[in-house]
Each structure stands twice: as C-alpha cells, then as structure tokens.
Homo-oligomer: A and B are copies of this chain.
Amino acid sequence: MQGTILHGPGDVRFEELPDPKILKPTDAIIQIKATCVCGSDLWSYRGVDTVTQPTPMGHEYCGIVQEVGSEVKSIRPGQFVIGSFFASDNTCIICKQGYQSSCINREPVVGAQASYLRVPLADGTLVPTPGYPSQELIPSLLTLSDVMGTGWFAADAANVKPNSTVVVVGDGAVGLCAVIAAKQMGADRIVIMSQNPNRQKVALELGATDVITERGAVGVSHAKELLNGIGADSVLECVGTLEAMMQAVQIARPGGYVGFVGVPHGIELNGLELFFSQIHLHGGPAPVRRYLPMLIDLVWNGKINPGKVFDMQLPLYQVAEAYKAMSERRAIKVLLTP
C-alpha cells in the first residue's frame, strides 16, 4: 500500500509501504475512506518537536473494516467505523470513568494517512456508524476521530452550560469544533479569538456570537469588557502556547472554568497566579472514545456539521501539499481521500 512518512522538518513523503497486518488478536485492519492532517502533526513537520527517524503520520481516520483478529468480538468486516487517535480497551477502571485516552492498555494509533491502517484494541476503540454513510457525511464523521471530539472535550472540561458565556482561544479546526460544541451545549455567548477573517467567518457560521481580534493583555481586557466586566464562565484553550494558555486563565472569571486541549508547548503555569485566579482547570488528550457514540448520532441526524472545518480537499497522494497548506495557514484543515 501507500502511506505518509515524515523524514524530517518539512519533508513529508507519500511512499510505498508494507501492508499493515494483524499483530495481536485484538487488532483490526481498516481500509481508510478519509483521513486528514492534524494541527498537532505540524509541531513535528515544523521541527518544533524533533523527529529522529522516518515516522508514519496520521491519527485521524474512518473507513471500512477489512479484517479482524481472532479475539475481536463486536467489530466485523464490512462495518464503517470511526476510532480515536488513542486505542483503548474501553473496559479498564480508567476507561469506565470516561478517560479512555489514559486507558491502562492504551496505544497510539499511527499511520492513518495511508490506504490501510492497523487499529489496536478494535473492540474498545472502533465505533460503527448506523449504516454506510452518504458521501456528504464522511467529512463530518472523520472529524469525530479527533478534532470534533477534542473540541467537545474542551467545552465539557470547561463546564459549558445553557446560557453560559464562553470564550474560545484558537481558530484552528479544534477551536471551530469547540464553537460547535459550545453552541450544542446551549451557551448564550460564544466569543472566538481570531485574527483571520476567513476563520472568523466560519466561526460565526458555526455559532460564534462575537469576535475578538486582539491578543495578550488587550485581548484579555476586551473579553472581560464584553462579559460583565468579570470574564467568562468557560474558556476553551485550543492552541497550546503559553500566550494562549495565559489568555485563557486570565479571561475566565473567578470560579470559572478553563478547558485546555491544545498540546502544551513551553507552558509553565505560575502557582500563585493560578491560585488567585480561582479558576477550574481541566484538559489533556481528549477522551474522544467517550463522545463517539453521541457525536455519531448528532452527525447522523444532521444536528452538527463539523465537516465544515475542511476548507481544502486533496487526493491522499498529495499529502505533502496538505501539510504545506496547513503550515502556511492557507487551509484550516485538509481532507485527504485515498
């Protein structure tokens, strides 16, 4: 088969690779119907995270089950399935509490930007759709594998409630999905912090009520002004930089909530500032598996359309151009089809 390998900063290649095989009796092999490039893939593409060896890329996927291992019970060949970027058994004590991304037996899913993919712990990881989806639904279903589940977790971790005030820090695909989640949860006010007119437009279409273009101290005071002078009930941090995190902490009102889902890069939080902010802080790698059945239902019934975050579509073999477009911020997120 063919798949995507990162050889070094900026050097991503679509090349011939061995077909994936069942390695453990709990594995499944799926034929990829759609995949994409994640904002987190860009950390290594840009050389911020170091790549020491050729690395198979991609962890967002949906497709058709081809083959299952001898111990797989509920997943069957022919099903259309979606899974998270972390494989989980969905039965351990941590999974049962809804934190499948910290499953005792978790394994990262790697190499999804390819024609075929091995998914470990298939029964725990994969969730079948009610039937074979129409072509229009596939982009939205694909987002459930990561960005929509992550945006939902940001909103859930930040305790978004009906009639609450929400600020979303970050206008990438996760930030835009966080807007969708906040709207679904009934937030009254959804402020997106964005400097990019195209992304502002998408955010407003998805349910944002206000845009703040400033960052740093000016952005913080603008947000507080908008929100009763005291700040937001919930702030959804969807970037992962120190600047974004400090904005989030400072914009939340005392007793408010920050949900943080951007993978932290260079973030150190001062204990005393956190103490006197009196915020609630929760985040981490999203337990996407927890939300998959509910989100599949919302997409299947046309309640949400997170596929809108894809503003570019390319054939999978042009994956290098997809990375380039996203790294140069010419695209929010690129859909790739084998």
A interface residues (Cβ-Cβ under 8 A, vs B): 93-94, 97-99, 101-102, 104, 228, 230, 240, 242, 245, 253-255, 260, 263-272, 274-285, 287
Contacts and interface: CB of A to CB of B under 8 A. Distances in A.
Most chain B CB neighbours (cut-off 10 Å) among A253, A255, A268: A255
Given A98-B255, A268-B271, A271-B269, A281 B278 contact: no
A27 B55 CA distance: 67
Contact of A277 (B242, B268, B277, B284): B284
A94 B255 contact: yes
Contacts of A230: 93-94, 104
A208 B254 CA distance: 31
Contacts of A93: 228, 230
A102 B272 contact: no
A41 to B, nearest CB: 17
A280 B287 CA distance: 14
10 contacts: A94-B230, A94-B255, A101-B278, A265-B272, A268-B270, A274-B283, A274-B284, A278-B282, A278-B285, A280-B282
A182 to B, nearest CB: 19
Given A93-B228, A255-B98, A275 B285 contact: yes
A94 B254 contact: yes
Nearest to A241: B271
Nearest to A279: B282
A89 to B, nearest CB: 14
